[in-house]
Structure 1
Amino acid sequence: MIEQPLLQQFANQLGVTLSQQQLDQFDRYAQLLVEWNEKINLTAIVDPREIVIKHFADSISFLKAVSVPEGSSLIDIGTGAGFPSTPLAIVRPDLKVTQLDSLNKRVLFLQEVSDQLGLGIQTIHQRAEDGGRDTVLREKFDFATARAVANMQTLSEYCLPYVKPGGYFVAMKGYEIEEELEQAKKAIRTLGGKTEAVEKFQLEDNSRAIIVVKKISQTPPKYPRNAGKIKKSPL
């Protein structure tokens, strides 16, 4: 379905070499994405070339922005159709990947992808703010990530509670991030984080920024608040 040489080309630009097995896994993932998208709303991007650039290569760019040690645990909050975590699980099978989403139909899709591709991903049907208070998940991960879920103020409250001190919250955002990041300074600090880096890159006409926030202290127990308070009164 996808142009495998094109995906390999973009992966190489990001410092990643894909095996034939991995290219085939990405190809099957794209097929499942398009098939399931006819039944449930997963993505507006169904063109094979755009899937390669805006979903697959974009997700792989995570590994260019941050060093991920062998065997790290990663949770993808509001993962939707599995970006960036499913591509990361394909590229780095050593990772212990958990995907969390509030819509059960999407979780069923994610489980099907994981099963067919043999990825061993844990999928969880739960709201982000509920999972962040769950002792099974709270401060248990080396990395938490999210892509296009909310602004940094809100996203920090959703994601940082999952990260263990010393770990990282990695937000995948649009290119113009400076004002949004400035507004999120207080929230990041309050939740125990510190912005360590902002990596910007371009994949054809797709301009992106990745914000790397280090967890330097525990998140206070009262966070995350319920969704209504998070939206009504951002930190």
Structure 2
Amino acid sequence: MKASTIAYLFLMGILFALGLLLLQQTVFGRLHVLDGPKRLNASDDSLPTELTLRHRAWGEQTVEDGTEVQRITTLLKQMKTVTNGTCPAGTATFTGTLRFLNGTTWTFSLGESMTLNGKCVAQRPSTQTTTLKARFLNAYHEPEQLARQFAEGEVVTVYAAGRSRSLTAREREDVKRRLAQAEPMTDYEEVGQALDASQGQPRILKLQRYKNEQNTRANLMNITVYETLFSVQYMDDDNGNTFYLKGQLLPTGKEADR
């Protein structure tokens, strides 16, 4: 083989090696390798997988809407950076558990104050705790959940035409059945039209979870009953949120006289 050919092949080999080195630097050099469990945990902390809530009056509920879980997680992460001394003693309205993909678990309690992972993050109500409470209560809007809560209420009173009375056991069973069959209403134009079409004064159902806690807001729920729809409000929702469901919750006219 001629010397010129050998030199040419040698030069091409060098150029090929340089090309491979350049490719490694420009492409593979951009890859970042997680070098330990801490970095892996840090990336997975942003992936919540399950949120379980426990309300002292209304029971346990799992938040299944992934978007809502992420919103609540964002609020909790903002509060996680706050250290606010020692929370005053008091009864928690909500307790809960938030689980992440990497196995990390956060726990929290929320009442007049709030603790997160055992640390006090709010000694008194704030804009953030009010928002969290409202979002937590949003998880308790499903008809089946409302029916269960209604069945567990120790006192149910109906207010109509300036008078009030307790519902009978038969009436309560009927309302429970109707609650479970109701349909949530999210179209507020439809809600407005139904309210405009309603005749007469609405009736009010006041649900008290525990008989011995008459003046505790977290223990009370009001249901305003119209002809073809009804609204529900948890009295401890500081934002005063009301949600509507379609259905005839109480009998009307001749049906009510039976």
Q: TM (normalized to structure 2)?
A: 0.21
Q: TM (normalized to structure 1)?
A: 0.23
